[in-house]
Chain A
Amino acid sequence: MIPELGHFALLLSLFVALVMGILPLAGAQLCQHRWMALARPATTAAFLLIAFSFGCLTWAFYVSDFSVLYVASNSNTQLPTMYRLSAVWGGHEGSLLLWVLMLAGWSLAVAVFSRQLPEAMVARVLGVLGLVLAGLLAFVVFTSNPFDRILPPPAEGRSLNPLLQDPGLVYHPPMLYMGYVGFSVAFAFAIAALIAGQLDAAWARWSRPWTTAAWIFLTLGITLGSWWSYNELGWGGWWFWDPVENASFMPWLVGTALIHSLAVTEKRGSFKNWTVLLAIAAFSLSLLGTFLVRSGVLTSVHAFATDPRRGIFILILLAIVVGSSLMLFAARAPKVSLGGAFALVSRETFLLVNNVLLLVTCGAVLLGTLYPLIVDAFGLGKISVGPPYFNAVFVPIMLPVLALVAIGPVARWKHDDLKTILGRLWPAAIVAAAAGIALPWLAGGWNGAVGLGLALAGWIGAALVSQTADRLKKPGAPTASWWGMQLAHFGLAAFVVGVTLVSNYQEERDVRMEPGDTVMVGGYTFKFLGVREADGPNYRASVGSVELSRDGKTLGTLYPEKRDYGLGSMPMTEAAIDVGFTRDLYVSLGEPLTADRENGAWAVRVYFKPFVVWIWGGCLLMALGGLLAAADRRYRLRVKRTLPAPAGATA
């Protein structure tokens, strides 16, 4: 009964979303205030219905109702409760339902926090969101209904892919989807402004906090995903350039460009067309990412078993949403005014170059991701494009971006000259040179890549410090968004340090080890103590013990596991990691090399990973910087000015 209620609520929400998408938009065109007024209640209703439906599915998982096919395919009674609940989005149907729920959630947030916006603008924004929501709901209802029954019900469900039984999975997809879906708000603002022909600073100011919020979630989602694959895949890698990772990284690159270009549009009124195009592109790439993952046109570790109807449906949806927005763009963009003029040497120019580089990077990633498909489509054979391509392309394009990160904030809007800029940056240049030359030498030998990476990190960091010192001398406290920018850029510098050091100084050994054997990696001694068998809640594990020591001092013991989740399933490697501020020690268990599992020899993989946590730490700082920027008071001050009553509105 409960699944039917959930299904019914979902059907109803499709109807409500259509109302939310059509009437307010039509009302805004025809100046029908009653129709426009429907936008907020319709949004609330759609959210409540979808939330109810999601609740029903979660309940079905909680009570293990295997008469629901989706539950039977993604959960079983052996699964611990937490994973039973996160299994709701472990498969295709449920993750789409989560997508839709989040889209409705973002729409509701817009409806609630947009009291200060003009009526027609709110109606248009919610209308656009309503249409997107209706499209995705139709996709769920017609091709991927999570409430389909299976009768008679199986007594036991199929286990969730053991790879996905990790706390990372509980948080990673929701974060990622929050980011993907969040760009729909920036998209809706852009489309609404295009329809109204009102591309102005006010529009940029309204969409900025939303864009930043979405960007924060996407940053966190990607970071968690990277952390998850580092912990879970047993390879010690943190980024694989897998098609699905690329699908999340491309909207991030464009979203980062969008944040910077929105700043220009708000402050100087320039780049309007460019900003609109970026807003459309960021959301389009989110949809494209969904298409790539769900349709199975690209094969990757993440690909779900597919149904061709789904691929066609998403492709049509993508074509309608993106195609119509780009048509609207082509029709309206020529009429948009150019905005404030700026000189060749100015902050605008630096931000424009940053934007172009980010977009070129995104284009290169897109090309690499789709290249196998292109080659196959022309019948030229089957190929794969591996990480070397992406590294070879990504690193050179990113170097100038990093150099610009230090310069952009120092330059003045509108007009500046190179001499003044260099005058402000010479201390940073000295620090950069020192970091680039001295640190690799101290670390045990000159290394060009390390020198360049550390020099750039030092350049960004030192420029930040000197700029902050200058700013604090001036009267008036800097705004929260200024601090946010500094923090995010600082995070970027930390990230660069982590990537540089781990890629150049990490050590990896695959060794055969018998109990009592030791191996030295990165100055640490790893002593293999043997393997014992143990039972987990829904698996059997071989648990290895590896004792860590350095210079004769014992540091602790790591317990890497090899888990077996039973028939129809695959074994799982569970790496053990000793996390540290300046290095991680990482041990994973390969296969037993002798018949005696407990006392025989095993293949063991050992890593020494210097500064690897700086990668995720840097990303967290970036997200935190975004949070500060989005929380800036100036986005809320307008509320006070336009709304006389309740005084608590700014709180």
Chain B
Amino acid sequence: MKPRQKRIALIVGGLAALGLAAAFVLNALDSNIAFYITPSEIAAGKAPQNKTFRVGGMVKEGSLTRDNLTVSFVITDTARDVKVTYTGILPDLFKEGKGAVAQGRLNPDGSFTATEVLAKHDENYMPPEAGHAIEQAQKAQQTVAKP
């Protein structure tokens, strides 16, 4: 092969590989991202059906109940609540009155089944997504409450 042809072969091969990789990446991104939804958005019917998403907010005080390894609790953004059930061991930082983020699916009855529960590793701060949900809800409440 002449150097020129060789070059072209290399470039074409490289581009094909890149194109393939890009296709892989975009496909993987599309099917593997999880949106953050606030409890208010769930109440407004904005949550995706049959797709995993994350819900963030504060764990309502006194809402945590246990039945062996299955726990259920309420996540609130101070305006709306969502009931979450989870089977397994909760993270160390999980506490009532603290921020938490649950990942999972919404059931037809409006409750949420989590496959993963996260709490942030710094005791002074709640997960920013949880904070975001609460801020949004307060904003909304105040807009409604305005005379």
Contacts and interface: CB of A to CB of B under 8 A. Distances in A.
B17 interface: yes
A605 interface: yes
Interface in A64-84: none
A512 B88 CA distance: 10
B92 A234 contact: yes
Contacts of B33: 371, 375, 383-386, 389
B88 to A, nearest CB: 5
Nearest to A394: B28
A160 B103 CA distance: 29
B9 interface: yes
A511 B69 contact: yes
B122 A590 contact: no
A389 B68 contact: no
Interface stretch (B104-112, B123-131, B139-147): B123-131
A573 B93 CA distance: 10
Interface in A40-92: none
A518 interface: no
B123 A603 contact: no
Interface string B86-127: 011110110000000001000000000000000011111101
Contact of B34 (A161, A357, A386): A386
B29 A368 contact: yes
B89 A591 contact: yes
A540 to B, nearest CB: 14
A377 to B, nearest CB: 15
Contacts of B69: 510-512, 603
Interface of B: 1, 3, 6, 9-10, 14, 17-18, 21, 24-25, 27-29, 31-36, 54, 66, 68-69, 87-90, 92-93, 103, 120-125, 127-129, 132
Interface of A: 161, 163, 234, 299, 301-303, 305, 341, 343-344, 349, 352-353, 356-357, 360, 364, 367-368, 371, 375, 381-386, 388-389, 392-393, 396-397, 510-512, 568-573, 588, 590-591, 593, 603, 605
27 contacts: A234-B92, A299-B129, A301-B121, A302-B121, A305-B125, A343-B1, A349-B10, A353-B17, A356-B17, A360-B18, A360-B21, A364-B24, A381-B36, A382-B35, A384-B34, A386-B32, A388-B32, A389-B32, A397-B21, A510-B87, A510-B88, A569-B123, A570-B93, A573-B92, A593-B66, A603-B69, A605-B89
State the 8 A-B residue pairs at the shortest beta-carbon distance, nearest first.
A590-B89, A389-B32, A392-B28, A382-B36, A388-B32, A301-B121, A360-B21, A383-B33
